Amino acid sequence: MAVYTQVSAEALSAFLAKFDHGELVSAKGIAEGVENSNYLVDTTTGRFILTLYEKRVSADDLPFFMAMLDHLAIDGNPVPRALPDRSGALIHELCGRPACLIEFLTGVSVSHPTEAQARAAGAAMGSMHLSLARFSQERANTLGPDGWRALLDKCGRDLDAIEPGLFDTIGTAADAVVAAWPADLPRSVIHADLFPDNVLMLGDRVTGLIDFYFACTDVRAYDLAIMHSAWAFDAQGERYDAAVGKALVGGYVDRHPLSRAERSALPVLAQGACLRFLATRAWDWLNTPADALVTRKDPLAYWRRFEAYRKDDLFA
């Protein structure tokens, strides 16, 4: 359960008093997620999400994320906006962490997406990219090839505690991916973490795209490669579902074009995506505080995906 910071009822009531959104009725920590602390908050006027930003989110980046969400919402994308308090402020401090009160969106995230759901989610990413082509702010990707390479190096030989020999195997793989990384594909702001748990759905309809806190400026097709790696495999990364992978890319191109160069770069972009998530998961695996109520995610599930992308062109 991702609740790194405990918020007392008294502190939350005082926080809510700054807004015109009623008084606290109940609040509970949300089990999903590993990055930030999230609470589901019910007040006398409605339901909200309270997010306290933890380890990987810098308070300095929050204005960028909020501007991006506003831009996407204005264009009709189903994204949650942060709510201003009476003074107009969106970003606050609560229990020593940066915090926002966020619109609650209906829907549930699917753990085993069907083809129809993958097609809808791919289309939602396509629409989001169309809208982001007109968003002019930028944010560097701290978890691009340099970032994940540095994180793997920081894990060092401790990686071998996850699986013997992993440090050397990953080092060789990372060198190959960095050497093949495409330099001249179209770039834009991307979500960079659009996993099934960050897409809310009702049936086959996308009702919410959430968790924009890795959004950054990078190769646009990399966003689709990340999504493919997250959606088209089982949780262990052992079984690839070709129909789901195809539907996801099909849904995307229904809304947004994918050039021949972007298409042929997808396999290496997907391998980079695997190393990026392997790196953060491995770091968390080795460094999660003992008292955190959080379920660590399996780093090796991303190593298995990496091997699948390296062996076959799963986008053919």
Ligand X SMILES: N[C@@H](CCO)C(=O)O
Ligand Y SMILES: Nc1ncnc2c1ncn2[C@@H]1O[C@H](COP(=O)(O)OP(=O)(O)OP(=O)(O)O)[C@@H](O)[C@H]1O
- Residue 292 interacting partner from ligand Y, ligand X, none (CB closer than 5 to 8 Å by kind): none
Q: How far is the CB of 157 from ligand Y (least distance, A)?
A: 27
CA distances from 19 to 96, 123, 156, 195 (A): 19, 35, 46, 32
**Which of 105, 253, 286, 300: binder of ligand Y (CB under 6 A)?**
105
In terms of Cα–Cα distance, which of 286, 275, 211, 180 is closest to 237? 275
Cβ proximity to ligand X: between 231 and 240 the closer is 231
- Phi first, then psi, for residue 161 (nearest 5°) are -75, -20
**Which of 110, 120, 128, 210: binder of ligand Y (CB under 6 A)?**
210
- Work out whether 189 is an interface residue with ligand X (CB under 6 A): no
Q: Cβ(187)–Cβ(219) under 8 Å?
A: yes
Cβ proximity to ligand Y: between 126 and 208 the closer is 208
Burial class of residue 53, CB neighbours in 10 A (0-12, 13-18, 19+): buried
Number of amino acids touching ligand Y (CB under 6 A): 22
**Which of 145, 297, 307, 310: binder of ligand X (CB under 6 A)?**
297
Q: How far is the CB of 284 from ligand X (least distance, A)?
A: 8
* Choices 46-54, 76-84, 113-121, 277-285 (CB under 6 A): range interacting with ligand X: 277-285
Cβ proximity to ligand X: between 61 and 193 the closer is 193
Residue entry with tokens 């809208």? 131
- Residue 30 interacting partner from ligand Y, ligand X, none (CB closer than 5 to 8 Å by kind): ligand Y
CA distance linking residue 302 with residue 270, whole number of Å: 11
- Please, which residues have CB within 8 angstroms of residue 42's CB and are 6 or more apart in sequence? 24, 25, 26, 27, 48
